[in-house]
Structure 1
Amino acid sequence: MKLLSKFLLVAFLATAFLACSDDDDAPTPPQGDLTIAGLVSENDQFSSLLAALERTDLVTPFVGGSGDLTVFAPTNDAFSTFLGDNGFSSLEEVPESLLREVLLNHVVNGRVLAADLTTGYVTSLGLGSASESNLSLFINTDDGVRINGVSNVTTADILATNGVVHEVNAVIGLPSVTTQALANPQFSILVEALIAASNDQTNYVDILSGSEASPFTVFAPINSAFESLLSGLGASGLGDVAPATLATILEYHVIAGSNVRSSDLTTGLTAATLQGEELEFDLSDGAQVIDATGVNANIAIVDVQTNNGVVHAIDKVLLPQQIVDVIDPTITGLAMMNDDLSSLFAALQLTGLDDVLNDRASEYTVFAPTNAAFDIFLNGSALGDLPVEVVTQVLLNHVLTGTALSSGLTTSYTNSLATFGDTENNLSFYINLDNGVRLNGVSSVTAPDNLAANGVVHIVDAVIGLPTVVTFATADPNFSSLVSALTDDGQAAQNYVETLSTPNGSAPAPFTVFAPINSAFDDLFTELDVEGIADIDPATLTAALNTHVVAGANVRSSDLMDGTVTTLGADLTVDATAGTLTDPNGRVSTIAVFDVQAANGVVHAIDTVLLPQL
């Protein structure tokens, strides 16, 4: 009888599994001299494995099969530990059906050599009690080869005629949801959260290890999802979140009593969670889960099948309404929780500004561009294609210090947190309330006054790029006549817009522009007895405009001293005390607004058009 069992075992192991490919032209894989069964029967370290295979009569269901297989083969010591840990004195005490599935959980279809193993999930031939789908194995190759976090390959690539054997130092038991959470390093914060949320009455690690209320469907946030949540809440770690709050959040990720696999999901499907509220699913743009925030979580990995349920990895921590109603998110948190601000949130994380806008000790006003606004700004590029320092300055150009509600905004200049070059001079920011709220002439507020724990967010329809001196000229209606002069068709001054829009660092930037306001041009028209810009001689107009521009210098009010400043058209006399400029004709202009700082220079508004020597 013993000889017959061995014969049947050899037949089973030689023919049990389908080959990875039937391509006759495929290269012949390396082979040993013995079948896998022969290797097991001839190696004394596998005598317990051999006895277990014989006892479960695994050959019967696979008579007539063909193909290669990969076996993670536990040693005798591994079986001894397995029996002791589970309260069995011998293999005969293990229920045959359980032993059979445990053995099959060590077998993978196809010939997989150690060099071909990668960190990730594979499917064994074992079946659990939660589903008719095969169990998942997590292979971790970070340090050798570790399976399901419990068993290490000690001798790899023992070649056979019908596959390969990898000797392992522990029996790979039927995994629970907890097993897979512990095995995958990407779930380490989830495990910490389960422990932190547990108490004497409720142990979430034990619950997800057991069968009561199983099978479970668990949407398991990866570490980056928890990091984003903590960042959005302004928390430095899980310790800053109350255990009861953690428990509520974690229970919202669990569907009890159902093994919901990806094939069971449909758009619009809802399911009640262990917390009590429902999740909704959307498959219109990949597999996604919708929580109470309305910000979809992507299902990154589906159908990690365990003995007591199934795990799907997601890229966002789901929040129920119960939590949304009581949390007091920071500005970063609001961005994280608003599906239309996901690009902004990604940009904040890229630059590290998510930490800045999490600071509850400071207050900020943020003009937050939508995803559509970012798409237009990026123009087909990815956010990561831009230098981080550029993205940082662009984002800072959307941030003001203090809390400014829409009712407190006025048409005026203020400063953003972006800076000019390598200086500490903040860039200016022009707010115009003539028709809604418009910013720097390029972006409008569409949803104002979204309050946060550390300020307010106004959602806007366009990214507010770093301004040039032309930006402010076109944004401020007080400079409309100047813009007409700079852009007048047919005039030699036509190229001024292009020139004055050059970025900081491009010759001859930076520029200092003494910009006449509209009333200054009205006075000039009266002085010259003309009706408008079109009536001024092009050469005279060009010379006049040159007289208002200093090239190659960012001359702020603090830099102005009594004496002479040289422009492209003439030398001007400065009276720093009076705040005036005098042109070569003795015409005096008062500086009405100082230090409108652009990224490529600075603008000072003046009340008289200056002229070169007449």
Structure 2
Amino acid sequence: MKTFNTITRITLLFLFVAFTSCSDDDNGGNMPPETELNIVETAQATAELSSLVSALQKADESPSNNLVTALSAEGSFTVFAPTNAAFDDLFTQLDGFDSLDDFNTQQLQDLLAIILTYHVVGAETYSTDLSNGQSITTLQGSDVTISTDGGVFISDATSVDAQVTTADVEASNGVVHIIDKVLLPQAIIDEIGDIILKPITDLVMGNENLESLLAALIAADGDLPTVLRGDGPFTVLAPTDEAFDAFLDGAALADIPTDVLTNVLLNHVISGEVYAADLVGLGAGYTNTLAVGAGERNMSLYFDTSSDVSFNGVSTVSTPDVKALNGVVHIVDAVIDLPNIVDHAVANPGFSSLVAALTDGGNTTFTDLLSNEEEDFTVFAPGNDAFAAFTNPNGNDINAILSNHVVVGTTAFSSDLTNSYVNTAAEFDTDENLSLYINTDDGVTLNGTSSVVTADVVATNGVIHAVDAVIDLPTVVTFAVADPNFSTLVQALTELTPSTDFVSVLSAQGGAGSDPFTVFAPTNDAFAALASIPEEADLIPILQHHVVAGANVRSGDLTDGIMATTLEGDAITINLPGTGDNVADVTDGAGNTGIGIDAVDVQAINGVIHVLDGVLIPDTTN
């Protein structure tokens, strides 16, 4: 324990003088109350203030203090009087202090006097005199701040306010306001706060309403109690005994596998100190716990402060900001189980439209799929605004659209994403999954229409990326526009051939036109290899020579020497295997050979794209 210096002792003497020198003339014009009991006698007559009386007497065991006499003398005081429960809460937080009996040295008694004088004002201040934001100087020398929003609250040097539970208890020498917390000045926190606060594990051990949590810590990984005694700092969401009873639902802790129980408990631990005010300032969002989720990443935890402070939509803070030596504890009313993809979607009100769409008409297809713990998923989840803006212009089946946001069999975090194609759960036919183009040149965009706004929400069975637009079922045009490697092709199909509406032709779906299409798409480099891009009259048949209508020909359908007639009228020939790195080689209508297919099976809802490293030229002699 640090030694009180001379200044501290002089301060205590000064405060005693301040006590005894106050008179009725300093009461701000208030008439003395009509009662014969002074402040000390009033506290003695109030059962819930017996700990305050004992604290005054304990402090006076030091020869430096005479608080009982001071508060019994004539004067004009305001006392913010902590209840017995408030003192019990204080002892729960202090390491080595179970009661006032532990203040057993003059040094500790002088410390107690500093705390108590922080509750005293040298003038009568009734509740009607208090205003929002008002700063009041105590006899300890430090200020407290008043808030009148939803009650009367008093802010001290901690992050937890005291609330006035009973106001304007009159005494012969002042007025008493009963409060639900012991106020602590900054001087106390600076002097000994890092010495007397308990580590989190010991704080849990000292709380009779957290016995089940302590039992769970012991039953789980044997290192957890030691970890939570470590340096930290940690933020712990501590479920009450009632919360554990509801979670176990008649089962015993021993019925839960140790590794599962350990991970559930770690899902209540956040690295760093996070106070309720920090969360309220953010409003809502995600943080990570120490639990391990998909991909060995730390599990995500959704917080929402729109009403109370709640986590994952299932657990609410009942007692915030219990300060510990190595962090802070928030007592919560429910155990936070390990969330899967569906749990995270349900917990976040920003996904309510998505959840409604997934479960419309009692549909359980998606909830069953995305609750599967034997599979990994990457879900691109549109928010409510995205759904509100979506008009479904092509009249596509909503279930197919929702499937187009799910990648099955992988957990792809934002750091893993590159410019590439992946397959979604949506299908062109019964076994041909649609492709999704991911571009990471500037953030993460999907099919050129939807951007990731919140990445890496980690669940037990995958990851969610929140997106700002619904990803409609892609056509071959969608991929051409989305993929920057096809920008010259898009220019050729639009700006350079205005007399032909290639976009409309190649956007047809559901048998509305010549779909499905098999498109052999030249890259920008393929066009750059030409001496020049032909004028419109010659360019139109060249572009048509890259499209086979009425067939969705995937790589698995190709055989060596297969020929296909294009929209231009000439046939192309495909040979397998290709030379070098080519998947296959193409001979065009003009007889040019060695044109390579570099990538295959970019699947759209109205056809498939294979990527070419050269431009196909039709037979110009026929």
Q: TM-score, normalised by structure 1?
A: 0.46
Q: TM-score, normalised by structure 2?
A: 0.45
